[in-house]
Copies of this chain bind each other. A is one copy, B any other.
Amino acid sequence: MVSEVKSLNEECGVFGIWGDAQAAELTYFGLHALQHRGQEGAGIVANAQGHLTGEKGLGLLTEVFDHPDKLAHLTGTAAIGHVRYATAGSAGIENIQPLLFNFNQQQVALAHNGNLTNAVSLRAELEAEGAIFHANSDTEVLMHLIQRQTAATFEQRLKASLRQIKGGFAYLVLTNDALYAALDPNGFRPLALGQLATGAYVVASETCALDTVNARFIRDVQPGELIKIDDHGYQVKSYTTDTQLSVCSMEFIYFARPDSTIYGVNVHQARERMGQLLAKEQPVDADIVVGVPNSSLSAANGYAAASGIPYEMGLIKNQYSQRTFIQPTQRLREQGVRMKLSAVAAVVKGKKVALVDDSLVRGTTSNYIVRLLKEAGATAVHLLIASPPLRYPCFYGIDIENTRELMAANLTLPQMQAKIGADSLGFLSVDGLIAAINLKSSAPYSGLCVAYFNGDYPTPLYDYAATFELPQVTA
Give me the interface of A with B, judged by CB distance under 8 Å.
1, 22, 25-26, 28-29, 32-33, 35-36, 39, 60-62, 65-68, 71, 93-94, 101-104, 123-124, 127, 129-134, 136, 140, 143-144, 147-148, 208, 211-214, 257-259, 261, 266, 268-269, 294, 297-298, 301, 305, 310-313, 316, 318-320, 322-329, 331-332, 334-336, 338-339, 342-347
Please state if A212 and B335 are interface contacts (CB–CB under 8 Å).
yes
Please determine whether B259 and A339 come into contact, CB atoms closer than 8 angstroms.
no
Assess whether A258 is in contact with B316, with CB atoms less than 8 Å apart: yes
Interchain CB contact under 8 A, B130 and A131: yes
Residues of B within 8 A of A305 (CB): 310
- A36 to B322, alpha carbons, bound, how many Å? 13
Partner of A320, one of B32, B310, B329, B338: B32
CB distance from A150 to the nearest CB of B (A): 9
- Residue of B71, B268, B324, B329 near A313 (CB, 8 A) is B268
> CB within 8 A of A208: which of B29, B35, B261, B342?
B342
| Residues of chain B lying within 8 A (CB to CB) of residue A68 | 325-327
Evaluate contact between B343 and A259: CB separation under 8 angstroms: yes
A-B contact sample (20 more), CB < 8 A, given A68-B325, A103-B127 = A25-B326, A26-B335, A29-B332, A60-B320, A62-B322, A68-B326, A104-B123, A104-B127, A129-B130, A130-B147, A131-B147, A132-B132, A208-B342, A211-B338, A213-B338, A258-B344, A261-B345, A266-B345, A268-B347, A322-B322
Interchain CA distance A261-B130 in the complex, whole Å: 40
Do residues B65 and A22 form an inter-chain contact, with CB atoms below 8 A?
Answer: no
- In the complex, A332 Cα to B32 Cα: how many Å? 14
Contact A319 B294 (CB under 8 A): yes
Give A211 to B373 CA distance when docked, in angstroms.
12
Residues of B contacting A336 with CB < 8 Å?
A: 29
Please give me the residue from chain B that is nearest to A67 by CB atom.
B325
Chain B residues with CB under 8 Å of A313's CB are 258, 268, 297-298, 301
Chosen A-B contacts, 25 in total, with CB atoms closer than 8 Å, are A1-B319, A25-B326, A29-B339, A33-B318, A33-B339, A60-B320, A62-B325, A66-B325, A101-B134, A102-B136, A103-B127, A132-B132, A208-B342, A211-B342, A214-B338, A257-B342, A261-B346, A266-B345, A268-B316, A268-B346, A268-B347, A294-B319, A301-B311, A301-B313, A305-B310
Q: Taking CB as reference atom, which chain B residue is nearest A120?
A: B104
Assuming the contacts A133-B102, A259-B316, A316-B257, asked whether A266 and B344 have C-beta atoms less than 8 A apart, the reply is yes
From B25, B65, B93, B329, give the contact of A332 (CB < 8 A). B25
Given A62-B324, A103-B127, A124-B104, A335–B29 Cβ distance below 8 Å?
A: yes
A345 CB to closest chain B CB (Å) equals: 8
Closest chain-B Cβ to A278's Cβ sits at a distance in Å of 17
Q: Is there an interface contact between A32 and B319, defined as CB atoms closer than 8 Å?
A: no
A75 shortest CB reach to chain B, Å: 13
Contacts A212-B342, A339-B212, A344-B266 hold; do A22 and B331 have CB atoms under 8 A apart? Answer: yes
CB distance from A140 to the nearest CB of B (A): 8
- Which chain B residues border A334 with CB–CB below 8 Å? 214
Complex partner residue of A65 from B258, B320, B325, CB under 8 angstroms = B325
